Structure 1
Amino acid sequence: MEPLWRKRARRAGLGSAAALILGLLWTAPSSAEVSPRCRVPDVYLSMSADLKRTERLVDRARPVRVLVLGPEIGGPSPPEKRRVRLHQELSTRLPQTEFEFLDETPQSGLAEADFGNIRSAVARFEPDLVLWQVGGADAIALSDAEAFGRTLFDAAKWLKERNVDLVLIDPPFVPRVPHEQIYWRIVGKIREVSDRARLNLVQRYAAMQFLDFQRQKLKEEPADAGSRRVCMAELVAEAIVKAVTR
């Protein structure tokens, strides 16, 4: 298999000497893997487009400023430890890269309000990468799916125009609750817009649904279903790292 540094040099049109220098400077990601109990099909973590800005910073061993909208990815945690799990998973996989999490951002809400918060946060913090946990509040509020989809598209376009990378994370799967079906419209719309506009999406809903099915197949205790939310920090980190090192 062609080494990653050589592949990037070839794509950039570099000569052999420059390619060799790139090979010396480039630090490959660690061999960290997703925990066995957290593994899901690759399709749930596949990115449609490159994270160009993040990839460039990783290549140069420069800090990556990450703006996260929404709660702790991987389950509840004390306010002083927000983003800890995701930070650990990213740092394990890319030990030469410093990830700076911008924790002064508001909780995830309706997509339209989130878009306003994104605009304010980008102006204030100048993030390199935005992780947007989107759709949960709109599903519960029974928001119009078409208007919701337009907001996603507009927000993604706005960020792209400012050279800010975006990763969408759809709502979590919550099994065996009466209102579960209200999420289907919004989850479907997120995937539709992502496919049409080639937006990067971590399919949390499908991944958690798959993990819940695995739990049932292995006849684990119901309490373990909640603990599997911790898997999302691993899975989101894995998706990001795959996108910036492919």
Structure 2
Amino acid sequence: MSFLRPFCRTTALAGAAITTLAFFTWISVLPLHAQSAISEFAKSDQPIASESIKPPDSAKREAPQTTGTGTLASVDQKSLTAKTIDKVKQVAKSASDIFSRVPCSPPKGGARAMGSLPHVASKLASGQPVEIIAFGSSSTAGYGTTSPEFTYPNRLAGQLRRQYPGVEISVVNRGKGGEDAAEMMKRLQIEVIDMKPDLVIWQVGTNAVLRNIDPDETAKQVEDGIKRIQAAGADLVLVDPQYSPRVNERAESANKMVKLLGRVAELRHVGIFPRFQIMRDWHEKQAIPIDNFVIADGLHMNDWGYACFAQLLGDDIIKSVGQIKLGVNLPAKVQAYRPM
């Protein structure tokens, strides 16, 4: 009977190979955002959908040994595969229908034509490769999202690639949770300027408000950073603090921070995306409950909040490109929105 043992082992391996082939064939026909979720699962235990996917305990033990009869022991691959497929389906559904649950509408009034991104708009209009760096703290890193693909930089990248399918577009996430302007300035040179980006989106101010740091001091640091980014030849958009319960607890400081960042943007002729005004508009004018766009910590946005934020920001970039294509190259001092 010993001549049957190699056959048993080969059959077992072939079965595993067929299962693996079928699984990855299924993956190949998924939408790109679902494939991204599989990729994240393969690399780490990052959360996908609403909870982390972890291999069953049997997968964490040592590799199974050959039994006395030559039959290979194996982990419950079918169970793991089924769980992974379910999670990917959840991610795909969440990515595709997020705006059907709550529509993403621009603020009512206050918008002006974007003319502050001539460099990146010209490159997109001519089909040249574009590198964008998203610089900031936890809401740039994506705290509060249920999957890494739902961060605003990833959402923005997807929108721009759909709009300009023939252009190589890279959006690099340089968000680091908990940092204020002074801490960001320490890594500005290496993580932003040395990368020679075409556009820098700088989200700043929230942590300074939460820590009771003088808004004037933050404004000075941001202005210094703007000068350095402009000297490197990149376009720049500032993103001010979020409208959320924890920020609103320090309303006086938050309002001052928002006004100062708007003033700095105006003086330095850079774009500003007024996140505070837009999120307040969601709640006060569009009657969207705060917990529809802010997670339970009362500070960070959820998947919908990040998605709408990215959508509106991307719309402004696309409008700027449209102006370049039409020959309407507005001066850099014209901002996307009026300062508050």
Bin the TM-score by the shorter chain: 0.7 to 0.9
What's the offset of the Cα at 1:144? 1.6
What's the offset of the Cα at 1:204? 0.7
> How many positions carry a matched residue from both structures?
209
What's the offset of the Cα at 1:177? 7.0
1:200 equivalent to 2:271? Answer yes
2:181 to 111, 119, 123: 111
Alignment of 1:26-175 (within 5 A): 37-41=104-108, 43-44=110-111, 46-47=113-114, 49-70=115-136, 71=140, 76-79=145-148, 82=151, 83-103=153-173, 106-107=176-177, 109-175=179-245
1:234 to 300, 305, 311: 311
CA distance in 2, matches of 1:135, 1:45: 23
CA distance in 2, matches of 1:207, 1:80: 23
CA distance in 1, matches of 2:143, 2:309: 5
What's the offset of the Cα at 1:233? 1.0
Tell me which of the two structures has the higher relative contact order, counting C-alpha pairs closer than 8 angstroms and 6 or more residues apart: 1
- Indicate how the Cα distance of structure 1 residues 204 and 239 shifts in structure 2: closer, same or farther if over 3 A, else same: same
CA distance in 2, matches of 1:109, 1:45: 31
- Indicate how the Cα distance of structure 1 residues 177 and 141 shifts in structure 2: closer, same or farther if over 3 A, else same: closer
What's the offset of the Cα at 1:59? 2.3
What's the offset of the Cα at 1:123? 4.6
CA distance in 2, matches of 1:45, 1:143: 31
1:78 corresponds to which letter in structure 2? S
CA distance in 2, matches of 1:239, 1:74: 24
1:43 corresponds to which letter in structure 2? G
What's the offset of the Cα at 1:64? 0.9
CA distance in 2, matches of 1:106, 1:175: 22
What's the offset of the Cα at 1:199? 1.9
- Indicate how the Cα distance of structure 1 residues 76 and 144 shifts in structure 2: closer, same or farther if over 3 A, else same: same
2:292 corresponds to which letter in structure 1? D
- Indicate how the Cα distance of structure 1 residues 75 and 61 shifts in structure 2: closer, same or farther if over 3 A, else same: farther
CA distance in 1, matches of 2:183, 2:247: 27
Question: What does residue 211 of structure 1 align with?
Answer: 282
- Indicate how the Cα distance of structure 1 residues 131 and 73 shifts in structure 2: closer, same or farther if over 3 A, else same: farther
Tell me which structure has the larger Cα radius of gyration.
Answer: 2
Determine if contact 1:215/1:225 at 8 Å carries over to the other structure: no
What's the offset of the Cα at 1:104? 5.5
Structure 1 portions without partners, runs of 5+? 1-33
CA distance in 2, matches of 1:109, 1:120: 16
SS state at 1:142 partner: coil
User: Percent of pairs identical after alignment?
Assistant: 22
What's the offset of the Cα at 1:222? 5.4
Determine if contact 1:169/1:201 at 8 Å carries over to the other structure: yes
TM-score, normalised by the number of residues in structure 1: 0.73
SS state at 1:68 partner: strand
Determine if contact 1:74/1:233 at 8 Å carries over to the other structure: no
- Indicate how the Cα distance of structure 1 residues 221 and 158 shifts in structure 2: closer, same or farther if over 3 A, else same: closer
Superimposed CA distance per residue, residues 91-113 of structure 1 (whole angstroms, 9 cap, x where no aligned partner): 23333332212236534621122
TM-score, normalised by the number of residues in structure 2: 0.54
What's the offset of the Cα at 1:240? 1.6
- Indicate how the Cα distance of structure 1 residues 58 and 197 shifts in structure 2: closer, same or farther if over 3 A, else same: same
CA distance in 2, matches of 1:75, 1:241: 27
- Indicate how the Cα distance of structure 1 residues 110 and 122 shifts in structure 2: closer, same or farther if over 3 A, else same: same
Note the aligned Cα RMSD (angstroms): 2.9
What's the offset of the Cα at 1:156? 1.0
Greater CA drift, 133-142 or 175-184: 175-184
